[in-house]
Structure 1
């Protein structure tokens, strides 16, 4: 299990997977809040089978990284020194590691939920560093485009588990609750008030000009995703076109909830993702 020390002295654990044949590119996976890279194994397997080298870290305060930071799950999911900016910077360090190890290959961000918010921030902060971005379970990070109500509100019956919002698949709900490295802690509580404010922002103006390339963007969302849903994702697509100047922006809406990579349509989601990548790389 490879690792590196970030600029605040935190040990970041990550996984690296190699395809059997010649690689076509690098995929860097960014997981969501309260989870870890291990929940993306089905996607990782299909990416490597299709020629992609995959890098997937456990972000600050999460998974193996969080356990190393705190030694217990009681304090895990807190980001630690540097807060949200420290978490962003650690992911950027992994990007640089991937680039240094494979300088000749294109690099694509594949990011879910909070990970997709981190990806949006990285795209703003490092124009031209990424050759494409796939944002899953994402939303426009702007007041009125992110839900202000509890995420499980519409499924909150007396016998609810509390995480029905993540997937329509009961087995996925149960597995998430039983995962010792996962948590259903709300984003605002997990990040704290200072880091929580960092969530808000929009795609930067003139990104295409600053990047020097027309970065392809794929946005994928469940029809019943309570984080933002299709309306918010279409607003995000519009912002990438009109504010950032990108022309290759694609949106897919699926029947399902927040974790469409863990829903009943997950095979179709992965097939569409790989097909989109295959057309561009």
Structure 2
């Protein structure tokens, strides 16, 4: 295990794999990455190196049911997204009980973006910025029907069961607009090598439990309710980033819907960045460096200046 990789035992005794990469120049902030469903924190290595070069310390961890060193019967399962969000908060408090005025930015991708939404509603005074990539919001009728269906499946067939047909029911439709799809995961990216890396990674693409799928869809809908959004810090800057061809974001319609819903319910600073001909894993897509740089510019404008963090060490 690398010196910057370790385990933290959270309140209920669960061991979580954690990695902390320190900035390699004067620190200007802390970024906490919440990875997506059926993947792991190691996939973000190149992005983390870039964040370190910008001056950010980066925290990342494998959520419950994810990672390399876990009990196989636990893979793909967690009981509650609220517990998963609480894990992230406990990790932050363990590593950075004091942040010396440095802004703390939560960045969640896909399932991790739903966890991040839950997180900032549960702990509204913690983050100074929220970045959601590949997030989602299904139309109310569709989303609620999926929630009811997955709830029944979880109750009748078992919360912990990992059934291929249930996973296919939830995720296979995401490929429907890709006529030349070669794998079940082509919806992730237009870059074939990135799709292949995901498919060949032994710690990616595993089956998720009935309960974990239910919790993800359920909290996608719950965290967009006006009553829940109003729990957020209304001054929290929020950046929504998505490929226009991302089915999880309802091909950009869900992203716009989420932004409007947040704005209508008191969140003052919402920015939406949509990228043409890009799919779900926008951080690893074609021209991803431009996406990263646009993100860094947004952080400087909306968070660093607001928090009066020195920017004299920016890249020239």
TM-score (norm 1): 0.87
Q: 1:33 aligns with which of 37, 62, 67?
A: 37
Q: 1:112 aligns with which of 103, 109, 132?
A: 109
- Runs of 5+ consecutive residues of structure 2 not aligned to the other structure: 147-169, 305-316
1:127 aligns with 2:148: no
Higher Rg:
2
Structural mapping, 1:1-281, within 5 Å: 1-64=5-68, 67-68=69-70, 70=71, 72=72, 75-79=74-78, 82-140=79-137, 143-144=140-141, 150-155=173-178, 160-183=182-205, 185=207, 189=210, 191-193=212-214, 196-203=217-224, 205=226, 214-228=235-249, 229-243=251-265, 245-255=266-276, 256-279=278-301, 280-281=303-304
SS at match of 1:227: helix
Q: Distance in 1 between matches of 2:126 and 2:138?
A: 21
Q: Distance in 2 between matches of 1:212 and 1:253?
A: 24
Q: Distance in 2 between matches of 1:140 and 1:106?
A: 27
* Paired position in structure 1 for 2:307: none
Q: Distance in 2 between matches of 1:191 and 1:208?
A: 22
Q: Distance in 1 between matches of 2:122 and 2:63?
A: 18
SS at match of 2:12: coil
Q: Distance in 1 between matches of 2:9 and 2:245?
A: 39
Distance of aligned partners of 1:100 and 1:231 in 2 relative to their CA distance in 1, 3 Å threshold: same
TM-score (norm 2): 0.78
Q: Distance in 2 between matches of 1:201 and 1:32?
A: 18
> Offset at 1:248?
1.4
> Offset at 1:7?
2.0
- How many residues of Structure 1 are paired with residues of Structure 2 in the alignment? 271
Q: Distance in 1 between matches of 2:199 and 2:211?
A: 16
Distance of aligned partners of 1:192 and 1:271 in 2 relative to their CA distance in 1, 3 Å threshold: closer
- The answer as to whether partners of 1:31 and 1:113 remain within 8 angstroms in 2 is yes
Distance of aligned partners of 1:181 and 1:7 in 2 relative to their CA distance in 1, 3 Å threshold: same
